[in-house]
Structure 1
Amino acid sequence: MLRFAPLLFVFLVACAAPSAVAPEASDAPEAAFVTRLGSDTLAVERFARTPTGMTATVALRAPRTTLTTYDLVLGPDGDLVRYEAVTRQPLTDEVLRREIAEPSGDSLRVTQRPTDEPETVRMVALTERALPFIDMVHWPFEIMVERAVEAGGPLDQPLFTSRGLVAFTSDVQDDGAVTVRHPFRGPMTVEADARGRLVSLDAGQTTRALVVTRVGDVEVEQAATRWAEMDAAGQSVGALSGRGETVAEVAGATISVDYGQPLRRDRNIWGALVSWGDLWRTGANQATHLTTDRDLVLGEGADALTVPAGTYTLFSIPQPDGGTLIVNRETGQNGNRYDESQDLGRVPMQRQSLDASTEAFTIDVEASGGEGGVLSLRWAEDAFRVPFSVRD
């Protein structure tokens, strides 16, 4: 059975030889991270160790710019004492929301206070030495990396959100590399210095493909102001992966496809971001859904697959010579969840070069002839195509 790879961080821990070690991080109590996606800078972070934990200030550009301050307090044993995040609009300094997490008995009480919405309180299972998980923000990884290196062996590292825990695990290999696993998503590579401090993180093998680099300092507030001004001028970076929808009338059938639309952002796509021979969610975020009100036949000849009227999810296995499109009966799931036992069937795809590059991943349904058409997956310089016909 094909399965999505679990999230695998490989921490390249420095060895004794100077030529082999990662760049040594500064001994200064403050440091900074810059996060990029392709050619776009998405976030800048300034963080500092305190006697009881860590503080941080982060400018995050997607989907619209925010400026957030964080205060993490840990006990002597590393257990969470208190976590607070205050998010502001950079140009007006208006507080948009607050989030506070504090232990309450055997649970973690997470309180969210949006400015324009009612307060919500959720209770999350409390475990030892929990750290916050913040989408596209990486200063908590500084602590996680150090703990992984210090442990020198198997280690569980839970990260919490307002909805529950994400269970990371780590282990140290014989060659000094540290592996850390997340129950889902793709692989990342993290480079650490000899003291276990995060130097770089490369998520190039994931759909998001962020690259995080450690720097000495960064003007976080100035970056937030500049990005917010760009937002106001209509130049927002927007959501990293929006949703696309294609609706077409072909030979009397109404066919619609709802899918996530990752952007290229100057990245290599086929055989790189989307690996040859691996199962791909065929988009981003929620699974791609195809709906038809008439029976279809995908593919041709002995490889043809009859698809009864209804709703299905689409996955694919791209290959240099085309690969395979998978039609699955399960619906409503995230694109990282795939159950092969729910497959309706598989059909070959045909690879075709495009005359012009496509920035946003796009799925088209194109009429062709009188009784059918072509389902086309287009991104970068290539399209993967499957002919289909509508049954009488």
Structure 2
Amino acid sequence: MKKLVLLMLTAFAISACSSGIEKESSTTYFVTKLGNDTLAIERINYGNNSISADVLLRSPSISLTSYQLAWNENNQLISMRAEDVTDLGGFGKGTGTITQEIAENGDSLAITATFRGNEITYNLANDQKLLPFIDMVHWPFDIALQRAHVSKSDSTHQYLISGRRASDFIIHNTAGNDFTLRHPSRGVMLVKTNDKGQLTWLDAKNTTRKLIVERTNTLNFDELVAHYVVHDKENSPFGTLSPAQEGEFSFKGSDFKVTYGSPLKRGRDIYGGIVSYGNRWRTGANRATHFSTSKPIQINGSTVPAGEYTLFTIPEEDGGTLIINKQTGQNGQSYDESRDLMRVPMSRKSQDDVTESFTIEIVETEKGGQLQLIWDTTIYYVDFTF
């Protein structure tokens, strides 16, 4: 480990001017919001072919991490170090715990990381001008976009280290300073840059994250860090973005169970907003929404045999479609239409109260039961009988 640190310090002394990324004259910041809630703040300083960044991330619990990264004149990664300073309560208060180190090792990168309390070491080929992928952290995207700006290509491939592999993030110039950035599995982000190619605004509404990132040159960063450290200790922390929920219901001699990820409204427009009309929705978050019944039920004249299924929906302003699929165990982005059991119409009604967390309930009715999808002031529902 000491050898890796020495290599990194040596790498940071390397200075070159052909990387295409200009040295910043002042500190810059990113603020990441999920609806009305601040999810993360980042403080970034660029050097010559190097960057240092301090990041406060509030999900699932608050964490403070300092990063240092350097690359050579060919944009190949030389070194990176991630240092967890959460227990210190702020940045610049001492030495924290090294959670990841990357160092050049011939034509490969030697990577040492702490995962679930265990230290793991592996090598990765250093042939793709790599950057790290850090979930919900955006300074690596800023570097990637500046490189895309310098290349002047309509599309560029930026490979980011994700675990033991390099994942391809495709950057496409749509018009002027506007770009799209495609995550390999989560979807496409909309990006605006300035005339230097620096990220100024990112909208992830078309991905599973649904967050907004904005750049600012002024931010009371250390004061905000101190505020959130105290706030998230004394009050409810930000928590998991879409915590797993489970509901069990019994009536008329049958047992029902639903398991799903429950995103929060957080001040956002839901249907017609982050959940678009006319498109298939995973009906929750993360793992596919699962539904089981211990007795056969009838929906719209068709039989759903006893068993477990996954639920998807296509919301519309006047109702929409409930999809009952026979595949189970998959992530909510995995959908095989050939395994549909049936598609049935949904009805829609409004409620006076606002439901902050997406909720699924199965309620008893006079003739049978009703599957309800409740979020914000909207309830989508499907009636069934036995």
> Per the shorter chain, which TM-score range?
0.7 to 0.9
In 1: Cα distance, 2:194 partner to 2:37 partner = 26
Q: Deviations over 1:335-362 (max 9, x none)?
A: 1121212212211110111121110000
Closer/same/farther in 2, CA of residues 235 and 96 from structure 1, 3 Å limit: farther
> TM-score with structure 1 length normalisation?
0.85
> 2:141 matched to which residue of 1?
141
> 1:18 matched to which residue of 2?
none
In 2: Cα distance, 1:285 partner to 1:60 partner = 20
In 2: Cα distance, 1:88 partner to 1:79 partner = 27
Q: Deviations over 1:181-240 (max 9, x none)?
A: 223224322110111111111223444321111111334333222212122213211111
Which 5+ residue runs of structure 1 have no aligned equivalent?
Answer: 1-24
Which 5+ residue runs of structure 2 have no aligned equivalent?
Answer: 1-21
* Superposed counterparts of 1:1-392, under 5 Å: 28-92=25-89, 95=96, 98-104=99-105, 108-113=109-114, 117-124=117-124, 126-153=126-153, 154-173=155-174, 177-297=178-298, 299-301=299-301, 304=302, 306-369=303-366, 372-390=368-386
In 2: Cα distance, 1:385 partner to 1:122 partner = 50
In 2: Cα distance, 1:351 partner to 1:109 partner = 55
CA drift of 1:250 comes to: 2.6
In 2: Cα distance, 1:53 partner to 1:315 partner = 45
CA contact (8 A) 2:258 2:291 kept: yes
CA contact (8 A) 2:181 2:190 kept: no
In 2: Cα distance, 1:309 partner to 1:126 partner = 52
Q: Secondary structure at the match of 2:231?
A: helix
Closer/same/farther in 2, CA of residues 197 and 332 from structure 1, 3 Å limit: same
In 2: Cα distance, 1:106 partner to 1:77 partner = 13
CA contact (8 A) 2:102 2:111 kept: yes
How many residues matched?
360
In 2: Cα distance, 1:112 partner to 1:279 partner = 38
Letter in 1 for 2:330: Q
CA contact (8 A) 1:312 1:330 kept: yes
> 1:15 matched to which residue of 2?
none
In 2: Cα distance, 1:74 partner to 1:57 partner = 18
> 1:21 matched to which residue of 2?
none
Identity level (%):
40
Please identify runs of 4+ aligned residues in structure 1 that moved more than 6 A. none
Letter in 1 for 2:142: E
Of residues 212-221 and 172-181 in structure 1, the stretch that sits farther from structure 2 once superposed is: 172-181
Closer/same/farther in 2, CA of residues 168 and 308 from structure 1, 3 Å limit: same
CA contact (8 A) 1:98 1:112 kept: yes
Give RMSD over aligned pairs. 2.3
Letter in 2 for 1:135: D
Q: Deviations over 1:148-180 (max 9, x none)?
A: 222222311111122433211123346664333
